[in-house]
Amino acid sequence: MGLVKSNVVVLLGSAAMTVLAGVPQVAAQDQNSKFVTLLERLVIGAGAPKVAIDTPQAVTVINQEDIDSTQATTTGDIFTSVPGIDVVGSDRLFGEAFNIRGIGATENSADAARIIVTVDGAPKFNEQYRMGSFFSDPELYKQVEVLRGPASSTLYGAGAIGGVINFVTKDASDFIKDGKTGAVRVKTGYDSNGNGTLVSGLLAQHLNETFDILATGNFRRSDVMQFATGADITGSDFAAWSGLVKGTARFGDRDEQVLRLSYQRWQSNANDQDYAQTSTMDPIASGFGTIDRVVTDQTAVLSYENPASDNPWVDFKASLSYSDTRNEQSNSTSPFVPAIPMSPSLRILQDTDYEYRTWQLKAENTAEYVADDIANYFTFGLQASNQDRIAEVPAGGLVLPAHPEGNEKKLGLFGQNEFVWNDQLTLIAGARADFNWITPSSAIPGATDTQAVAFSPKIAALYSFNDNFGIFGSLAHTERMPTIDELYSYAPPDPFGAPLGKGMSLDLQKEEANNIEGGFTIAAYDLVQDGDSFTVKTTGFYNDLTNLIQSNPDGSATYYSNVASAHIYGVEVEAAYNSDYAFANVAYTATNGVDESTGNPLTSIPAHRLVATLGARLPEQGLELGVRAKFVANAENGVTATKTTPVVASDGYQTYDVFASWKPTSGLLEGTTAQFTIENIFNADYRDNLSVDRSKGRTFKLTLAKQFDY
């Protein structure tokens, strides 16, 4: 343990010296600088709204400009330059799953239970063998917040061991300019790797002074993409439709109360897709054959906000949401299909409709007290949900032992107090209790109801010595309750699947995480020209995990069991500079993880990496261009292709992207945006250590958009 902690100190100290050496001693100006950097963006999901650099937690805000500039084909592309987060399986539309700080795996997406993903506050969750956990399109969103570490559990739910990802959908007000009543925006794009195309249309309209509506529709498609080696990425072709309708009404005194109703839908109908979407270079997975899939994801949210600006004791928010993720699969070509009647463990390959339906009600209120030198914000609330896990087998009468059905009800009660003294010291303390009740399908032999309680306390502090320098730290504990999949999966003995069998895991204990974080912030202004900004935030963390839940080999008494413990530690650095004529961003991630029961590195830990972006602007011409470089070190760990092949660590690599955009600000072309990107410009062939697949080849992207205001 001492060696581990000393490693964190060395990593954090080295990063601090490196950053401090390059920062001039410049007097600060008002933080509302002319040019806002990545770390000065407003965070809305960590308590009282504040900019990222003043949040005593590692958090990154991705805005609309970032999403557009990456010309993202999938939601995974959005996170290219964010430290601490990786997207595995992102070369296939149905294979995307998240990894934050070494939490997240590729074969199963049950790690979605360790990372909370929301869309406008609605929880998104999907777990299926060899499938991803999130299905959507980047064109639907204007902002994404990534909150790293277990401290997020207080406001979002027990078990956020990796952290939280908040997707925020677009609003009509984002597009309607002052003095105008509406806007129409059309967009098209081309992607050379796979001949991918995008067609998108958006309408934003003020129906009257207090009500507006937004409607957008997108169609995105691609042929089979290619690896850098020139080989096909089988299963990477797709066609997907998506759309969003959102209405916003404002009423009451000063029209400050807000009622929103939104509905979004994403669907892809793909025939002859590889059954395994997370990787097809796995020898076992390649033997699963192909299958037809229709994947549909729907999210509906009704929300209400009342800031009650005349009443400091009321700042109320409530939302009712519905999420439905459905995968209808049929026409399997797997050579194992004939053996299904005799092999329950192979039934996951047959025609089946998988689905997660989730209802959630969340309500919270913030009471505010402000005096001369102090401010206090106390947020408290509740979160209740009902989720059905469904596996409908058209053949009828068949139970899927590896995908048990059931119902889970949750209730969370939480409170968080934020105290600010003299705009220098911020103290945050919070606690949450979560209760769950799980009822398995009556068709599962021997399954019984379970219930559990989890507790998630935290304390965090940030102290600003002046406008240039601050330090922060936090302690957080969270507990993750076992999922339906982990409790009730089993593998009966059969001649083609698990000859020795495995039973249900009804005695699983909760996973626990104790996380320590600490770091510093730097801000400087007017370095090269008036109004420019330079900011840095460095975070070191140590996460002690106990009772981790892992799957057992065939012949074990139970399908899952708790292993002794593991620890994950590392450092993250974000730095950003912004001015009239130049901008730069740096994201550095160094994460390490050890299985304490074996002493071996954890296979879910990403390799150390540095992503640097450097760009220039010609503001009068509306031009922006730059280069993005990614440097990845040799990995100390790796993934295993099969249960019988050894873990192989990946070699280090580097990739380079170039990009340019043109946004005329006057004349007939005002409102037009043209963007061009070359990804992996040198066609680097590599394998990321969290993936079995190799790298995607060189890709040219072109996007054209035009907005018409009226």
Report pLDDT digits (tens) over 460-516. 999 999 989 999 999 999 999 999 999 999 888 877 767 778 889 999 999 999 999
How do residues 646-663 score in pLDDT, each as one tens digit? 556 788 999 999 999 999
pLDDT at residue 288 in the model: 78
Q: How far apart are CA 143 and CA 60, in angstroms?
A: 10
Which strand (E) or helix (H) includes residue 150? Answer: none
Mean local confidence (pLDDT), 604-620 = 93
Are residues 33 and 51 in contact, defined by beta-carbon separation less than 8 angstroms? no
pLDDT at residue 283 in the model: 54
Question: The tokens of 516 are what?
Answer: 């320590």
Buried b / exposed e along 189-222 (16+ C-beta atoms within 10 A): bebbbbebebebebbbbbeeeeebbbebbbbbbb
Give which of 542, 536, 609 is closest to 570, Cα–Cα.
542
Least confident of 17-21, 36-40, 598-602: 17-21
Mean local confidence (pLDDT), 555-571 = 88
Give the helix ranges, DSSP H, for 375-514. Answer: 484-488
DSSP 8-class letter at 195: T
pLDDT at residue 476 in the model: 94
| 494 vs 142: which has the higher pLDDT | 142
184 pLDDT band (50/70/90 cuts)? very high
pLDDT at residue 443 in the model: 87
Q: How far apart are CA 298 and CA 582, in angstroms?
A: 41
Q: How far apart are CA 107 and CA 280, in angstroms?
A: 11
pLDDT at residue 250 in the model: 95
Q: How many domains would you assign to the chain?
A: 1
The set of residues, in sequence order, having a beta carbon less than 8 Å from that of 460 and lying 6+ positions away, is 56, 57, 151, 427, 428, 429, 472, 473, 474, 475, 476
pLDDT at residue 34 in the model: 56
Above 60 in pLDDT, residue 645? no
How do residues 43-72 score in pLDDT, each as one tens digit? 776 667 767 777 888 889 899 989 998 998
Host domain of residue 648: 2-709
How do residues 198-219 score in pLDDT, each as one tens digit? 999 999 999 998 999 999 999 9
Residue for token digits 């009740």?
Answer: 437
The set of residues, in sequence order, having a beta carbon less than 8 Å from that of 257 and lying 6+ positions away, is 250, 251, 304, 305, 306, 307
pTM: 0.91
Among residues of the chain, what percentage have pLDDT more than 90?
Answer: 58
**CATH number for the domain that contains residue 365:** 2.40.170.20
5 pLDDT band (50/70/90 cuts)? very low
pLDDT at residue 405 in the model: 92
